[in-house]
Amino acid sequence: MEGLVILAILVVLAGPVLAIMALVAVRRLDGESSNHLIPQLTSRIFALEQRLSELEKTLRQASPSETSARTGKVPTQPLPEDFPDQIRVSAPIPATPPQPPPIPPPARETPFAPVTSSGAAPAEALQSIHGTRKASPLDLESLIAGRWFNRIGIVALLIAVSYFLKFAFDNNWIGQSGRVAIGVLLGALMLPWSQWLLGKGYTYFSEGIAALGEATLFLSVWAGCQYYALYSRDVGFVAMIAITAVMAAVAIGRDSQRIAVLSLLGGLLTPVLASSGKDQQVVLFTYLILLGGGALVIASKKDWKWLAPIAFVGTQIYFWGWYSEFFHSTSPLERTVLFATLFYLLYSVLPIAKALRGVSTGELDVAMILLNSFAYSVALFILMWPNDKWPLTLLFLALAAGHVAIARLLPVAVVGGSGLARLLFAGLALTFLTLAIPIRLEGNWITLSFSVEGAILVWTGFRAASNFLRQAGYLLLTISALRLLFLPPAGGQFLFNARFGAYVVMIACLGLALWAARTYKTHVEGQEQIEIGIFAVTINIYALIALSAEFWDYFGRTSTGVDGALAQHLSLSILWTAYASGLLFWGLQNKSALLRWQSLVLFGLVVGKVFLYDLSFLERAYRILSFFVLGAVLLGVSFLYQRKFARERESS
């Protein structure tokens, strides 16, 4: 009974396949018959055309006598020379009857090209029939019917087969071994069928069938080892690896990046499908290294850009998934750090190799370099902080030295004229070197990492004329600035503490970005000018926040011997007034309207604070001092502006 059911299922499943094969065969026969009849008809018509052309040529080359007879002209004989002049009379010339206009030959409509006297081959005439056909671009109709329906049809067939098999399985028509065998057989048959479709020119449909075959094979092998337990998980794991290798070979043979991506996705799904739920770190991470290495080799040979990013993302998902599930205090830290380092080195090889070959570094390569470095840095920090500060510091120093060595090996200029990879690795070396010191002191190094890397990206973007790098740098600077504002480190000794140091680094990074923009100002235009202006204002805002926090904490201590609250507010008024004065003087010297307007806004804040708060809450002595300082400074500001206006009037 089971054999009959299996045979019936195969017949049902083979029906659509045979129908498609029959349709393709009919279309081929139709095309062959058309291609056989058209050349014969063309040759016969061509022969008739040539005979008509020869007849017309014969008529045009008729003899002169025949032409004279047709026109009615009579040839005259000359008279003898001794004939008397009196008798010499000109022979009468017969009047030529008016000639009717020539009758044009009847027009003939023909789809053929004009036939010359030398003749043309029937093949050329055939070409004139069909004309030159240019491949039209894929329109919406072809996209929907040819591609979307292909995917939907594959999914529909997969669902139909799944439901049918489930129905058969639920009724115990087929045993467990038969179910797995049917799936493996169908999946295996789809691969040669896909190759046959490719030979007929159905490239896209062929790749869809190959994807369906791969999915069927993976599903069948998974069911055999996990659902029915017909064989061990190790056997299923090896079988899935074999399927991945076969699909990779198919992708290389067909030169198809899409099939290669499908093969890689199948390889990434293999650990999940064959998982036992136990901690098998060595097996899992070794497999990921081998899978990623194979993907990178194929990507390098075939120049397929999407294999490396997909493999990298899959590796990171497995690494952090394993960490959240199995890593604990007793886990081997050294082995985990070793695998994290191997992952980092693996995905650094391809961009370095491309740069050494002189290939320009694209945006995807830049993203891979940055994400790989960031993921490795975060992994080291999470694994080693705070119990292993010294090893963590040494690792970052080693990373800085390694990136410097790589930057020196890379060419200064690659294809396109920009040594982008060299600049990137040099910037990363500076980033790791910058992180090594604060890592030893405290854990607020993520803000420093973002700010330093953002500034380096902006500088590199201007050097390499890459708007993508500059925008990435602006984003990192924005993230680090917001993180510092809402999650600042703790303060401490006046001006010598982690909080003030973090603000100084942030201001320096913003200043580096501003300096790079002014140095390469020809690249700045439109929206980017607004972004640079915002950074210029942010520098002064953060400098004022950092100084205000230091003065506020210093005068708030009881050890100063003065009333803390009163001294704090007075110190802020004096600090803001002095800072606004410095901005105004600098703006006048550099003729910068932006600096002058920042100064005026800050003066406005000081005036509001003094009149609204200091006047009501400060004691008499502090109140007098606050108003005296503000009034004197405002008079000085007014004098400077009056002198500026006078000079402008004199110069005009």
Encode pLDDT of 298-310 as tens digits: 999 999 999 999 9
d(CA 534, CA 516): 15
Q: What is the pLDDT of residue 292?
A: 96
Do 309 and 368 touch, CB atoms closer than 8 A? yes
State the alpha helices, DSSP H only, in 274-416: 281-302, 307-326, 333-356, 363-384, 389-409
537 found inside a domain: no
State the Rg of the chain over Cα.
44
The average confidence (pLDDT) of the chain is 79
Q: Give the count of domains, the chain.
A: 2
Look-up of token digits 């899959």 = 314
Q: In whole angstroms, what is the distance from residue 52 CA to residue 136 CA?
A: 38
In a domain, 102, yes or no: no
Q: Which of 121-130, 204-213, 264-273, 571-580 has the highest mean pLDDT?
A: 264-273
Q: pTM of the predicted model, to two decimals?
A: 0.60
For residues 473-505, one letter each, b for 16 or more C-beta atoms within 10 angstroms of the residue's C-beta and e for the rest, the string is bbebbbebbebbeeebbebeeeeebbbbbbbeb
Instruction: Indicate the DSSP class of residue 496.
Output: B
Domain termination site, one of 276, 311, 332: 276
Instruction: Out of 276, 309, 334, pick the residue that ends a domain.
Output: 276
Coil, strand, or helix at residue 303?
coil
Q: Which two tokens stand for residue 63?
A: 């003899």
Residues 274 and 222 sit within 8 Å (Cβ to Cβ):
yes
> What's the domain range around 590?
556-560+569-651
pLDDT band at 5 (very low <50, low <70, confident <90, very high): very low
Q: What is the pLDDT of residue 508?
A: 96
Place of tokens 């194979």: 294
Residue 262 maps to a domain: yes
CA nearest to 319, candidates 298, 289, 353: 289
pLDDT at residue 484 in the model: 92
Is position 53 within any domain? no
The token pair at 210 is 């190959």
Angle, nearest 10°, between helix axes 281-302 and 257-273?
180
**Is there a domain that residue 389 lies in?**
no
Calculate mean pLDDT across residues 173-181. 84
Domain boundary among the residues 257, 276, 295 is at: 276
Q: How many whole angstroms separate alpha carbon 594 and alpha carbon 602?
A: 12
Instruction: Evaluate whether residue 344 is within a structural domain.
Output: no
Task: Judge contact between 283 and 343, C-beta under 8 A.
Answer: no
- pLDDT at residue 370, rounded to an integer: 93
407 part of a folded domain: no
- Distance in angstroms (rounded) separating the CA atoms of residues 129 and 362: 47
493 strand-pairing partners: 496
**Choice among 88-92, 236-240, 493-497, 509-513 with the minimum mean pLDDT:** 88-92
For residue 128, what pLDDT is reported? Answer: 44
Residue 19 pLDDT class (50, 70, 90 cuts): very low
In whole angstroms, what is the distance from residue 238 CA to residue 250 CA? Answer: 18
Residue 199 domain-assigned (yes or no)? yes
